[in-house]
Amino acid sequence: MSLLVTGTVAFDAIETPFGKTDKIIGGAATYISLAASYFTKDVSLIAVVGDDFPASYIELIKSKGISTEGLQIKEGEKSFFWSGRYFNDMNSRETLITELNVLADFDPIVPASLAQPEFVMLGNLSPQVQLTLLERLTNKPKLVVMDTMNFWMDIALEDLKKALKKVDVLTINDEEARQLSGEYSLLKASRVIREMGPQYLIIKKGEHGALLFHGDQVFSAPAMLLEDVFDPTGAGDTFAGGFIGWLALTNDISFENMKRAIIYGSAMASFCVEKFGTDNILEIPREELMERVNAFKKLSYVDIV
Amino acid sequence: MSLLVTGTVAFDAIETPFGKTDKIIGGAATYISLAASYFTKDVSLIAVVGDDFPASYIELIKSKGISTEGLQIKEGEKSFFWSGRYFNDMNSRETLITELNVLADFDPIVPASLAQPEFVMLGNLSPQVQLTLLERLTNKPKLVVMDTMNFWMDIALEDLKKALKKVDVLTINDEEARQLSGEYSLLKASRVIREMGPQYLIIKKGEHGALLFHGDQVFSAPAMLLEDVFDPTGAGDTFAGGFIGWLALTNDISFENMKRAIIYGSAMASFCVEKFGTDNILEIPREELMERVNAFKKLSYVDIV
């Protein structure tokens, strides 16, 4: 099934206790589309970069079969740049630099050839831009998944609430779920948030796994125990890409299949954090991915009653 | 199978965002033995109280079939008393009062009739007292489970390491595992800790569930999503009591059965936190316990590959 992905395509510079990088390829839409490309070959990007963005990076994206027809390249402008430093626990980080550059006035133009996607993944961006993209589609997609973050809850809550009305699945972390709902109990929070629009809610808990809520059903996915988390950058986006990639591949948006999609997303994310940036999600052999998925299944399996 | 439990039997006074209690029955050994009594009827306590400890509390314990032959009542002395306040997130608390009283010179006397238990649960106490109890047994138990906390890592690390050599299963929380091992990765931490003695390690993660490590095997148990966590006091002890109670009932200490024991312990703990103190673990109908166990199984079950 066709999958349309929007979000940032950008430069990241990352510091972790294990080392630091120069400007490397990053951005939510980059991680999402790379991860999704393992599952479905019909992936298209809607994003914007400046003319400083290396052709080799665009070639890398294309080499995974991802269409860059919707990737705008702004002459004389610079790409979005984020730089951050992770602390020892890898769960907290500080932003060192945010240069919006081309993102400041990003207009998500959707070429006619891409305007009828079956699956849509709205990576983290201003809710206004996410909504504009949805409004430009000429069909109603089978499934719209949106990722967002506390930043937009702080400065654009009304826009966010407007966008949420058009969304089927929302992915946020536990602190964000508490902020958005005003409830501490995640069970209560999940109900409040789903009353805002999305029928499905995924709460990402990092090293503690992920939760999926729908109706009265809940699924709790474990997190893989890793020797080291080398660089968490992009883990949430890689998770989202694996999640929607699996759904697009199987064309099945039942709760049971979303549970599988969460495991595939978690497996992809567990590879992502083992090296810097996108390094570890460019060439995952199929057997290794399936081994990881099996390890996830085994991790939480219990033969009881 | 016979189960010997040691730990505190005490007064607690608890404040949470939902309210506060006067002095109520508390203590690690109280929660452990109450929870274990749902599974095995051969439970005995080794503990100490003062003569201020109400006969009705002792009758309550006895009414669950728990032997109090090893419960010392010190004339003219006062029982251990702990008072604490939980913050909104229920994951952090401050201790308001700790009165050691009879606990200051607790000598864990083991009556001859209790000196050959098949299962032993060392609830949180000074490691020296935990070790002394083990040395007074006249057999080698089938399984020794020990709970401890960061307090003993701070002030009695050498004693703790001595005790760990005699222990089969250690239960601690994630922060304690990191402190004890000096490793942030829980996978690495689990190896370092298991080199100290225990072949099995359980890491309790509160609202994020629990992990069991043994050899190269890992099991990740989810936590039940609850409307509200009303009072977390005793949750870890109730978990431990359900865990060892199930093992004593089934007399099976395989890794697979320990996974089940973790689910039974988690189910018991999920009841515990729904009301103040021991209120919610005194009369759990068997059908409700089994419903909760089933809900745990369902929560993490995924039909994949």
Residue contact B222–A222, C-beta within 8 A? yes
Token pair for B86: 């939980």
Q: Is A305 among the domain residues?
A: no
Contact A146, A169 (CB under 8 A): yes
Question: Contact B257/B247 with Cβ under 8 angstroms?
Answer: yes
pLDDT at position B87, please? Answer: 87
| pLDDT for position B90 | 76
Asked if residue A246 lies in contact with residue A260, where contact means CB atoms within 8 angstroms, the answer is yes
Are the Cβ atoms of B227 and A297 closer than 8 angstroms? no
pLDDT at B88: 77
- Confidence at residue B121, expressed as pLDDT on a 0 to 100 scale: 98
∠ CA B29-B35-B40, rounded to 5°: 105
What is the rounded average pLDDT of the residues B34-45?
A: 97
At A165 the three-state DSSP class reads: coil
Question: Cβ contact (<8 Å) for B208 and A209?
Answer: yes
Query: Given an 8 Å threshold on Cβ–Cβ distance, is B227 in contact with A294?
Result: no
Residue of A nearest to B208 (CA): A208
Kindly provide the b/e burial profile for residues A235-263, where b requires at least 16 CB atoms within 10 angstroms of the residue's own CB: bbbbbbbbbbbbbbbbeebeeebbbbbbb
Tens-place pLDDT, residues B56-86: 999 999 999 999 999 999 999 999 999 999 9
Query: Is A217 domain-assigned?
Result: yes
Q: Is residue A101 part of a domain?
A: yes
Q: Is the pLDDT of residue B53 over 90?
A: yes
Contacts of B225 in chain A (CB under 8 A): 185-187, 211, 218, 220
Of A184, A300, A305, the CB nearest to B300: A300
Domains contained in chain B, number: 1
Q: How far does A17 lie from chain B, in Å, by closest CA?
A: 12
Residue A126 lies in a domain: yes
Predicted local distance difference test score (pLDDT) of residue B305: 75
d(CA B181, CA A268) in angstroms, rounded, equals 29
A187 vs B89, B184, B226: nearest CB: B226
CB contact under 8 A, B220 and A218: no
Contact (Cβ atoms closer than 8 angstroms) between residue B124 and residue B7: yes
Compute the distance between CA of residue A91 and CA of residue A251 in angstroms, rounded to an integer.
34
Residue A22 sits in a domain whose CATH number is 3.40.1190.20
- Confirm whether B305 is domain-assigned: no
Mean pLDDT, chain B, rounded, equals 96
Taking a C-beta distance cutoff of 8 angstroms, is the pair A45, A84 a contact?
no
Nearest by CB to A184, which of B88, B185, B256? Answer: B88
Domain that holds residue B21: 3-300
* Residue in chain B nearest A299 by alpha carbon: B219
Q: Give B259 to chain A, closest Cα distance, Å.
A: 6
Cα(B179)–Cα(A252) distance, integer angstroms: 45
Place B89 in a pLDDT band, splitting at 50, 70 and 90: confident
Q: How many Å apart are CA B261 and CA A91, to the nearest integer?
A: 30
| A300 near B CB under 8 A | yes
Written as tens digits, the pLDDT of chain A (305 aa) is: 999 999 999 999 999 988 999 999 999 999 999 999 999 999 999 999 999 999 999 999 999 999 999 999 999 999 999 999 998 777 788 999 999 999 999 999 999 999 999 999 999 999 999 999 999 999 999 999 999 999 999 999 999 999 999 999 999 999 999 999 999 999 999 999 999 999 999 999 999 999 999 999 999 999 999 998 999 999 999 999 999 999 999 999 999 999 999 999 999 999 999 999 999 999 999 999 999 999 999 999 999 97
Whether B86 is in a domain gets the answer: yes
Residues A187 and B227 sit within 8 Å (Cβ to Cβ): yes
Residue-level pLDDT at A82: 96
What is the pLDDT, as a whole number, of residue B45?
A: 98
**Are A266 and A219 spatial neighbours (Cβ–Cβ below 8 Å)?**
no
User: Are B305 and A299 inside 8 Å of each other by CB?
Assistant: no
- DSSP state letter for A249: H
Kindly calculate the radius of gyration of chain B based on its CA atoms and give it in whole angstroms: 18
| CB-CB contact of B278 with B31 (8 Å) | yes
B88 interfacial to chain A (CB closer than 8 Å): yes
Q: Is residue B238 part of a domain?
A: yes
Establish if B181 belongs to a structural domain: yes
* CB-based contact A11:A25 (threshold 8 Å): yes
- pLDDT at residue B51, as a whole number: 97
A256 to chain B, any CB pair closer than 8 A? The answer is yes
User: What's the distance, CA B129 to chain centroid?
Assistant: 16
* Band of residue B239 on the pLDDT scale cut at 50, 70, 90: very high
Give the mean pLDDT of B145-157. 97
Q: Does A87 touch chain B (CB under 8 A)?
A: no
Decide if A162 touches B, using CB distance below 8 A: no
